[in-house]
Every structure is written in C-alpha cells, then in structure tokens.
Amino acid sequence: MKKVIYSCLAAIAGLMASPAHADSAYPNQPIRLIVPYSAGGVTDLVGRALAEKMSSHLGQSVVVENKTGANGTMGAIQMLTTKPDGYTITMVPIGIYRMPHITGTSYDPAKDFTYISQVAGYDYYLVVKNDAPWKNLDEFIQYAKSKPDAISYGTPGAYSSQHIAMVQLGEAAGTQWTHIPFKGEADAMTALLGGHVQVVVGASGALPHVKSGDMRSLAVLGENRSMALPDVPTLKESGYNVVHTSAFGIAGPKNMPDDVVKKIDEAIGAAMDDKDFTARLVQLGVSPLYLDHERYTAAAMRSVEKEEKTIKQLGDIQAK
C-alpha cells in the first residue's frame, strides 16, 4: 500500500515539476491576439490576416483585440498579468525593447516574455515631393550639407525608428536637419504635400503617394530593397550603414509550455508558407521576415542589447 502511495506522490511531483508541458488538447477554446495599435492601421490589418490563417491551422478562432497607448507596449504590459496557457498572446513591436531606456517600463524584455515567432518588418521610405529638386539621395545630402538646418523632416513621433534613422543618417553624412514629430504617418504625409516639411520618413502610407506620382522615394531603410519599390536603393547601397526594419512578432507571457509554443509557432509558420498571405503582407507595405521560436528568441535578445546601446549612444535626440 505504501508503495502505491509513494508511486502516486512521485507521479504528482513529476507533473508539478514539468510546467513546460500542457494539455495536448490545446487549443480547446478561442485564442486572443492583442494588437497594440488602432483598428484599421497596417499592424492591425496584418494581425487580422494572421489571425485568420492561424485559426484555420489551429481549428480554433483567433480573435484580435486592439489595445492602444504606451507607445505600442500595451500588449507587452498585459503579458505580465496573463496566464501562460497560450490563450492570450500579443503582437510585439520593436518599441518594447526601446521604451525601457526612454520612459522606463514595468517589464524587462529580456526576462518577461516568451518569444513565439517573428512575422514581418516594416518597410520605411525617405520620401520627398515629386517637384523637389533632389532626384536621388546624394543630391539631397549635398544640399543639406550646403545649407545646414534648412531641411525639416517629419516622422510619426520622437524616438520612432524613423526618427532614430534620420538622426543616424545625419551623423553618418555629417549634416543637420530639424525633426518635426507628428501624431501619425498620415499627418506627416499631409504636411509634406502641403510644403510644411521637405522630407518624410514613412512606411506603407507613403506608397500610394509614390505610385500616384505625388512623391518620390530617395531611399529605403531596410537591409534589402523593398518588394513594393524594388527600384529604390537602400541607405546601405548609397554608402550609409543605417538599417531599420523594425521587425515585429508574436509573444506571450514567460513560462509558456513548450508544446503550446510549438503549436502556435507551427500555425504562424504555416501562414508564412502561404503565398497569398505573404503577398498580402507586401500589399500592406511590410516584408515577410519569419523566424521560428528559437531563432526569434535569439533575435529578441540581440534587439534588447542593440536598442539599449543605440539609445545610450544617441542620447537626447528630441531636437535632432
């Protein structure tokens, strides 16, 4: 009898010591995917397209919930109090690594999350009005050098990737310009068309204007040329080692069970293998950049270190 009791206790202890294993029936209820931006925006549309594909693969509904504020970190903040069972996960933008060194945050991006899959990265474009005198980046840089502070540029906000990129480009080129932060990309584009700024660093919102002929793109900020504008060179091709892809992915609370992570990652991987889905990403103005759980976790840790180093090196860039 004692042997039976000891065997049962040992089995229970074994289960308690194995938090990385979950019910094999996962998922047996709808999954909530937090998108930390407003409904209707590019990130939201990507999230909804991804949720649809994940639902098909997992056999359960994946429901998008928008939670805005805190510079795109609301989903990350919620993970601190979310049960790690895989039923609430979030999109995480690059800002989750940056904000701890700008405003301070309640979370530690190196310790508080389970990084499940990287999905895509934003394509950023340096654009000017079509009647601007600069036909390429070199002409633009030479003009800025000849007339310091004559150029004002717009971005969606201070310490955004677009803002940081222009500060880095200015330092690399040995020139100066004036930053004008806007509430969003649409406002910055309106200001450019109205002649209130000379340059905007934008994402997908720039594409319709470029394709209509109202604007011209002088450079792309990614590691590679954009699929949407393949004829536009990168900053690196133009001789400036400034690269911003602002990759984003899906994460959950820390200590998620390995088998649950595997199932979610497989669902996202299946979506990324779907040509219709990746074509939709390109249409929305982002580039597919899938990384599985292991590689995404490693990439996230590199981003934690890189963003801390970048912010410390740049210092206060509010006025740059």
What pLDDT is stored for residue 163 in this prediction? 94
Q: Does the pLDDT at position 10 exceed 50?
A: no
In the chain, how many domains are there?
2
Q: What is the pLDDT of residue 157?
A: 87
- The answer, yes or no, to whether residue 73 has pLDDT greater than 80, is yes
Question: Which long-range contacts (C-beta less than 8 Å, at least 24 apart) are formed by 136-145?
Answer: 136/218, 137/218, 137/219, 137/233, 137/235, 137/238, 138/238, 140/199, 140/218, 141/173, 141/175, 144/170, 144/173, 144/175, 144/176, 144/177, 145/173, 145/174, 145/175
Please determine, for residue 41, whether its predicted confidence score (pLDDT) is greater than 80: yes
In tens, the pLDDT along 149-192 reads: 899 999 988 889 999 999 999 999 999 999 999 988 889 999 99
- Asked, for residue 164, whether it belongs to a domain, the answer is yes
pLDDT of 115: 98
In which band, very low, low, confident or very high, does the pLDDT at 24 lie, cut at 50, 70 and 90?
low
113 with 161, same domain: the answer is: no
Whether pLDDT at 18 is above 70: no
**pLDDT at 125 exceeding the cut of 90:** yes
pLDDT, residue 23, reads: 56
8-28 average pLDDT score? 57
- Asked if the peptide bond before residue 27 counts as cis, ω within 30 degrees of 0, the response is yes
Its domain, for residue 260, covers: 28-121+245-314
CATH number of the domain within which 265 lies: 3.40.190.150
Lowest mean pLDDT among 22-31, 207-216, 222-231, 276-285: 22-31
3 state DSSP class of 21: coil
Residues 100, 180: one domain? no
pTM value is 0.86
| pLDDT score at 174 | 95
pLDDT at residue 314 in the model: 87
- Of 187, 220, 253, the position where a domain reaches its end is 220
Degrees to nearest 5, angle at CA 160 with 291 and 299? 20
- The predicted-structure confidence for 227-255, as pLDDT tens digits, reads as follows 889 999 999 999 999 999 999 999 999 99
pLDDT at 4 over 90: no
Indicate the pLDDT class of residue 19, thresholds 50, 70 and 90: very low
* Domain end (from 220, 255, 290): 220
Q: What is the pLDDT of residue 319?
A: 65
Are 32 and 178 contained in the same domain? no
Supply the Cα-derived Rg of the chain in whole angstroms: 22
Q: What is the pLDDT of residues 256-289, one digit of tens each?
A: 999 999 999 999 999 999 999 999 999 998 999 9
* Element of type H or E holding 193: helix 185-193
pLDDT at residue 2 greater than cutoff 50: no
Q: Quick one: 95 and 111 in the same domain? A: yes
Domain C-terminal end among 174, 205, 220: 220
- Whether residue 21 is predicted with pLDDT greater than 90 in this model: the reply is no
**Are the CB atoms for 155 and 244 separated by under 8 Å?**
no
Please give the pLDDT value at position 71: 84
Task: Say how far apart CA 320 and CA 318 lie, in whole Å.
Answer: 6
Question: Considering the chain, what percentage of its residues have pLDDT values greater than 70?
Answer: 92
Query: Does residue 204 share a domain with residue 137?
Result: yes
Write the burial class of residue 176 (CB in 10 Å: 0-12 exposed, 13-18 middle, 19+ buried): middle
> pLDDT grade, residue 16 (50/70/90)?
very low
Task: Specify whether 258 is located in the same domain as 213.
Answer: no
Same domain, 138 and 110: no
State the Cα–Cα distance between residues 56 and 49, nearest whole angstrom: 11
Phi and psi based region of residue 158 (left: phi greater than 0; alpha: psi -120 to 50; beta: remaining): beta
